[in-house]
Amino acid sequence: MSEKKDKTSRRGFLRAGLVLAGSVVAGTVLKPFNGVVVAGEEPKGDTPWYGIGIDIEKCIGCGKCAKSCKLENNVPMEPFFFRSWVEQYTIAKDGSVKVESPNGGIDGFKQELPDDQIFKSFFVPKMCNHCSKSPCVQVCPVGATYVSPDGVVLVDEKYCIGCRYCIQACPYGCRYLHPAKQVADKCSLCYHRIKKGIQPACFEMCPTGARVFGNLRDKSGPLVKFLRDHNCLVLKPHLNTGSKLYYNALSGEVR
Amino acid sequence: MPQQIRRLLVAFAVFIALFLVLRYVMIPTSFGEYGHYRGRSLEDNAAKPLQFTGNSSCIKCHKSIVEEKSRGHHAGLACETCHGPALKHVTYADTLPHAKLPDSLLLDKPAERKNCALCHNRNMARIKFRNDTVNISMIKQVDVMKHNLVDKNNESLKCIDCHFPHDPY
């Protein structure tokens, strides 16, 4: 009897040990995936922490944001350098998705599909997401790109060596190599404007007010109000970039 | 201490000293002030020149036009949305009032049909019905290919020949 009891207790011990070890391993593997990692977590401090809201339902695709961005920040006018641009999504009734952005939307859009074949169509303005866990900052080998204390991802033009790692790393395609300066260039959220208390150029020039700029710490401010009143999503939440660009009415087709 | 170790120590000392000197020379003083970057770069980024100035500057000289616009459907638009960046234009006018602006500082007066079409050319993506602060279904949608009138010489008219842009109907 006692012999049998010993045997079961040893088996029980081993089983318990295995279960424990297994759950520890599973816990470490699963840890990065648990919890809601949709958007950035507010850091401690009292500086402003800027974010962006874009209402896709209000965007009419005039491309004024893309144009004003180029004029304000001296972005080359060639159609492959953009800090801010607009994409037109057309979802046909047969389910095919067409994305087009001729010259970033600066010269306007044409709808080639006849109305009766369109399931839905909308414009998506794109720009830097000013991620709080930004992949482009993590890969920079020299510390030439960084998140400023107010949550803006900036490039240090004097320090950048033009290695293009950050251009590869950005999952949203928001960076390019400046052809004349040979340094990485990207949306600075018009840092020179917001530091003077003025809105960034694309926000000020938007004719329909589809863009909302604000301080995420200011709980009574326009951006927090926008986030409260709308169902907002960020792009590619599974990449855990901590994006601070929130879209209202974002369709699943948008990448 | 054996001689070879002593020589090696000297070589090491020289190497470390050289490394420290190079590090001192090459790393900018403000590096690491806020994080792993040059702190002065924040000031560099903040010091870039502005181009757009905002609506409040326009009313100083163009009062009647601003008032006219504020009554019409285009009241919510910034002047610079159509006319382009105006800071240089405004600074010149501020420093030398009553002087004639040089041609290079005159702003765009976009008159071509394509400029109106940016917002008003019929596109399924613009035809949405939603009433919020801006009801974008109110933005008139016109098929600019069909709505294309011609004058006596069979040349197509501009939109602004009939629809006045500051107070359109």
Domain positions in chain B are 3-46, 50-109, 110-169
**Mean model confidence pLDDT for chain B:** 88
Within 8 A of A195 by CB-CB distance, chain B residues are 46
Site of tokens 């399931």: A119
Kindly tell me if the per-residue pLDDT of B137 is higher than 70. no
Q: How far apart are CA A140 and CA A123, in angstroms?
A: 32
Least confident segment among A114-118, A150-154, A193-197:
A114-118
ipTM: 0.84
> What six digits make up the tokens of B168?
């359109």
Give residue for tokens 């695709």.
A61
Answer yes or no: is pLDDT of B130 > 70.
Answer: no
Instruction: Determine the pLDDT at residue B126.
Output: 81
Predicted confidence (pLDDT) per residue in A112-137, tens digit = 888 889 888 999 999 999 999 999 99
Q: In the numeric block, which tokens belong to residue A218?
A: 């200011």
Q: Where are the domains of chain A?
A: 50-248
- What's the pLDDT at B45? 95
Task: Count CB neighbours of B24 within 10 A.
Answer: 9
Question: In the prediction, which pLDDT does B40 show?
Answer: 94
Residue to mutate among B36, B37, B69, with most A CBs inside 10 A, is B37
Q: Which of B134, B138, B139 to mutate to test the interface with A (most CBs of A within 10 A)?
A: B134
Give the per-residue pLDDT at B129: 47
Report the pLDDT value the prediction gives residue B135, as an integer from 0 to 100: 53
Among A62, A123, A192, the residue with its CB nearest the CB of B47 is A192
Structural tokens at position A45: 């401090």
* Contact between A57 and B136 using a beta-carbon 8 Å cutoff: yes
Task: Test A148 with B134 for CB contact under 8 angstroms.
Answer: no
Helix (H) or strand (E) holding B11, with range, is helix B3-26
Residue A102 buriedness (CB in 10 A; 0-12 / 13-18 / 19+): middle
Query: Cβ contacts (< 8 Å) between B48 and chain A: which residues?
Result: 73, 188, 191-192
* Mean per-residue pLDDT over chain A, rounded: 90
Return the CATH fold of A50-248. Alpha-Beta Plaits (3.30.70)
pTM above 0.90, yes or no: no
| pLDDT on residue A32 | 53
Strands annotated E in A79-141: 84-92, 97-100, 118-127
pLDDT at A235: 94
- Tell me: the pLDDT tens digits for A26-83? 877 765 554 444 556 788 888 899 999 999 988 999 999 999 999 999 999 998 899 9
**Which pLDDT does position B55 carry in this prediction?**
87
The average pLDDT across A130-157 equals 94
Distance of CA A157 to the CA centre of its chain: 22
Whether the pLDDT of residue B168 is over 90: the answer is: no
Q: What does the pLDDT look like over B79-100, one tens digit per residue?
A: 999 999 999 999 999 898 888 8
Handedness of CA B11, B16, B17, B18 (dihedral sign): positive
For residue A193, which amino acid is it?
R
Residue A87, SS3? strand
Query: What's the pLDDT at A31?
Result: 57
Give me the percent of chain B exceeding a pLDDT of 70.
93
In three-state secondary structure terms, B133 is coil
Q: Which residues contact A66 (CB under 8 A, 6 or more apart)?
A: A82, A84, A85, A86, A104, A105, A106, A202
Backbone CA torsion sign across B156, B161, B167, B169: negative
pLDDT score for B132:
46
